[in-house]
Copies of this chain bind each other. A is one copy, B any other.
Amino acid sequence: MTNDRYTEGLEKLREIDGEAGQKVMDSLKDIAPDLGRYIIEFAFGDVYSRPGLDLKSREIATVAALTALGTAAPQLKVHIHGALNVGCTRKEVVEIIIQMAVYAGFPAALNGMAAAKEVFKERDEKGQS
């Protein structure tokens, strides 16, 4: 069954994060491959695969949380990609980040917007929406 969780998680990870997710896994290969495996099995296989909340809403939640926390710039970038990959528009991403000024202050929103700016540029260069 672990295999099923892994398989389902990997599929979900690819659907959401695309190559950004693969890069995270690669970076863990030599030092802590099990941490990568837990991300696939638990985060994507168990949690993101749950019914009851659509993927777009899940990515809205994640972009909001990571912007508010302010301690996870690389992961925020991965999930801004993810949000756009599963159906959010750039405008929606910008709105989520603006809204975080209310709950976590303007610096959190400014730093979140800097992450969005980098992601949008990366996608422009690849012709992605």
Binding site for B on A (CB under 8 A): 1-3, 5, 24, 27-28, 30-32, 34-35, 38-39, 42-43, 46-48, 50, 52-53, 57-58, 60-72, 74-75, 91-92, 94-111, 113-114, 116-117, 120
Contact A27 B98 (CB under 8 A): no
A19 to B53, CA, bound (A): 27
A32 to B31, CA, bound (A): 34
Stoichiometry, copies per complex: 6
Query: Given A52-B91, A53-B96, A35 and B109 touching (CB < 8 A)?
Result: yes
Contact B106 A108 (CB under 8 A): no
Residues from chain B with a CB closer than 8 A to the CB of A91 are: 52-53
Query: Given A57-B57, A105-B108, A117-B31, A99 and B68 touching (CB < 8 A)?
Result: no
The minimal Cβ–Cβ distance linking A71 to chain B, given in whole angstroms, is 3
